[in-house]
Chains A and B, each alone.
Chain A
Amino acid sequence: AQKVTQAQTEISVVEKEDVTLDCVYETRDTTYYLFWYKQPPSGELVFLIRRNSFDEQNEISGRYSWNFQKSTSSFNFTITASQVVDSAVYFCALRPLIQGAQKLVFGQGTRLTINP
């Protein structure tokens, strides 16, 4: 069975603070992909990153960084120097790499509010 847990339902910080969104996943597959999506108030899910299970290198993209640790089944997302525009619901998702199984399994999301 596949499962994604985002234990933080809501996070509120003041602008310019760093914030980390946690994601823990469960899967029996040895090969899989992990994703982060951002859902602003407009409702559209915006793709942020894809990571495969063989690549545990951390990734940085501007103020965003991702820490993938296979040993703890975690794929955490950090926003450095947060801005009001970062306010959104963020979803972590898992996709097994079984042939024909392109189903994304999402966590429940973390609502991030950045206060000015």
Chain B
Amino acid sequence: EAGVVQSPRYKIIEKKQPVAFWCNPISGHNTLYWYLQNLGQGPELLIRYENEEAVDDSQLPKDRFSAERLKGVDSTLKIQPAELGDSAVYLCASSPGLAETMDTQYFGPGTRLTVL
């Protein structure tokens, strides 16, 4: 079974430029998450989708960040414009969306963003 797929794996841009990350979750997983991982830190949730609905975006900086999951499968996270402080790894995860007692999140390899 294929895992969570993310692209690109690495991205280098200049500040003020836009950037987008793509994620394809494990087949059949209804719940999709985007996390931000700063160097030397644990991941922090940005947004969670249940199918195509964003059910928790409280940690998403909405002035420059946006996300979509139009058909409830793959998702795109966008930053516009990027700032130096956005340099980090952006991780996507998915879970089956079963009863919460059984829900485990599986992560992709992440996209490492460097803003110059």
User: Using Cβ atoms and an 8 Å threshold, which residues of chain A touch B95?
Assistant: 102
B39 → chain A closest CB, angstroms: 11
Contact of A43 with B42 at beta-carbon distance under 8 Å, contacts A97-B100, A100-B55, A104-B105 already known = no
Contact B45 A45 (CB under 8 A): no
Chain B, Cβ-Cβ closest to A52: B101
Q: Which residues of A does B touch, CB under 8 Å?
A: 4, 35, 37, 42-47, 50, 52, 91, 93, 97, 99-100, 102-104, 106-109
Query: Given contacts A45-B91, A102-B31, could you give 19 more A-B pairs where the C-beta distance is less than 8 Å?
Result: A4-B42, A35-B104, A42-B109, A43-B89, A43-B110, A46-B107, A47-B105, A47-B106, A52-B101, A99-B100, A102-B48, A102-B95, A102-B103, A103-B45, A103-B56, A104-B105, A108-B41, A109-B40, A109-B41
* Chain B contacts to A: CB under 8 angstroms: 3, 9, 31, 40-45, 48, 55-56, 89, 91, 93, 95, 100-101, 103-110, 112
